[in-house]
């Protein structure tokens, strides 16, 4: 795909995503979480002026920049993609926000301490969650908070992996297992809220938006790429509707070293 075609496809996908969210709820995220849910989670975690925030797997920085603009904080976003970090820096500069972004693979985490560690919509990408949470805990002082969203459910079966595009980054875990892993790392859950219903509504809307844009994208991306996006979203919609997967937002506080 040529650079101009790539940019056109990215713009079309972003426009489709924006159309699937209610007004004011799309801030550049490539997930099901809304801007309001991000702010609610950040507030629950005590994000505010002067609070040192580390945002893991920040992507192009949409939610992180939204939090920085709305709540004020000392923000650092990290992502393994140099291209995503470059776009995030450009967006921060254009918005006049003093947010910092670095290229980093997680784990390990950047040296702390931080007051809050955020992980939005990417917990499922970590196969070894205990190792990640040990690193999160080490980056926080006692009283620091870890705020995340969670795709909750039992691990995928072989048959489910066969139909889910990108299944090598889908590592589900039951809520009680994550809570146990958090506690083992010295992190105690202080708040938890279910997001399944709202995220099902969002993914249904995204399926409709991608269906609408697919005919225009197919010549540039190939039928397979467009079909993969739709297959993944339809699968998530079915899993959320059937209760195979549930979505949660939670905050855990560091209670011991």
Q: How far is it, in rounded angstroms, from Cα 118 to Cα 177? A: 19
Number of domains within the chain:
1
- Tokens 């549930």, located at residue: 246
Instruction: Please give the order of strands across the beta sheet that includes 145-152.
Output: 100-103, 74-79, 52-56, 116-119, 145-152, 246-254, 187-194
* pLDDT given for residue 6 in this prediction: 61
Binned at pLDDT 50, 70 and 90, residue 23 comes out as very high
Q: Does the structure show a pLDDT above 60 at 220?
A: no
Q: How far is it, in rounded angstroms, from Cα 117 to Cα 208? A: 33
* pLDDT given for residue 1 in this prediction: 44
* Token pair of 89 as six digits: 């820096």
Phi, psi of 231 (to 5 degrees): -60, -45
The pLDDT tens digits of the residues spanning 72-116 come to 999 999 999 999 999 999 999 999 999 999 999 999 999 889 999
* pLDDT given for residue 67 in this prediction: 98
Binned at pLDDT 50, 70 and 90, residue 7 comes out as low
| Torsion angle defined by CA atoms of residues 229, 92, 53 and 21, in that order, rounded to the nearest 10 degrees | -40
Binned at pLDDT 50, 70 and 90, residue 228 comes out as confident
The residue with greater pLDDT, 163 or 148, is 148
The CATH code of the domain that includes 41 is 3.40.50.150
Q: Does the structure show a pLDDT above 60 at 202?
A: yes
| Secondary structure of residue 196 in the 3-state scheme | helix
Element (H, E) at 13: helix 3-20
Average pLDDT over residues 217-240: 77
Domain of residue 14: give its range: 3-254
* pLDDT given for residue 158 in this prediction: 96
The pLDDT tens digits of the residues spanning 131-149 come to 999 999 999 999 999 999 9
């Amino acid at each position: 795909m040529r650079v101009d075609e790539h940019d056109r496809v990215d713009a079309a996908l972003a426009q489709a995503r924006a159309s699937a969210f209610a007004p004011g709820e799309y801030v550049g995220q490539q997930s099901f979480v809304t801007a309001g849910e991000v702010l609610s989670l950040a507030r629950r975690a005590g994000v505010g002026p002067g609070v040192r925030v580390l945002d893991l797997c920040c992507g192009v920085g949409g939610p992180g920049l939204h939090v920085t603009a709305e709540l004020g904080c000392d923000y650092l976003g990290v992502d393994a993609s140099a291209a995503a970090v470059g776009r995030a820096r450009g967006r921060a500069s254009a918005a006049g926000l003093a947010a910092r972004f670095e290229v980093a693979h997680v784990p390990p985490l950047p040296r702390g301490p931080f007051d809050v560690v955020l992980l939005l919509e990417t917990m499922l990408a970590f196969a070894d969650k205990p190792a990640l949470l040990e690193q999160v805990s080490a980056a926080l002082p006692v009283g620091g908070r870890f705020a995340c969203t969670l795709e909750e459910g039992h691990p995928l079966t072989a048959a489910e992996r066969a139909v889910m595009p990108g299944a090598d980054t889908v590592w589900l875990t039951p809520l009680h297992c994550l809570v146990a892993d958090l506690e083992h790392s010295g992190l105690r859950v202080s708040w938890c809220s279910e997001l399944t219903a709202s995220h099902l509504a969002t993914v249904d809307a995204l399926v409709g938006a991608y269906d609408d844009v697919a005919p225009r994208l197919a010549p540039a991306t190939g039928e397979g790429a467009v079909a993969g996006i739709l297959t993944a979203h339809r699968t998530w919609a079915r899993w959320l509707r059937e209760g195979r997967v549930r979505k949660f937002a939670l905050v855990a506080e560091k209670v011991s070293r």
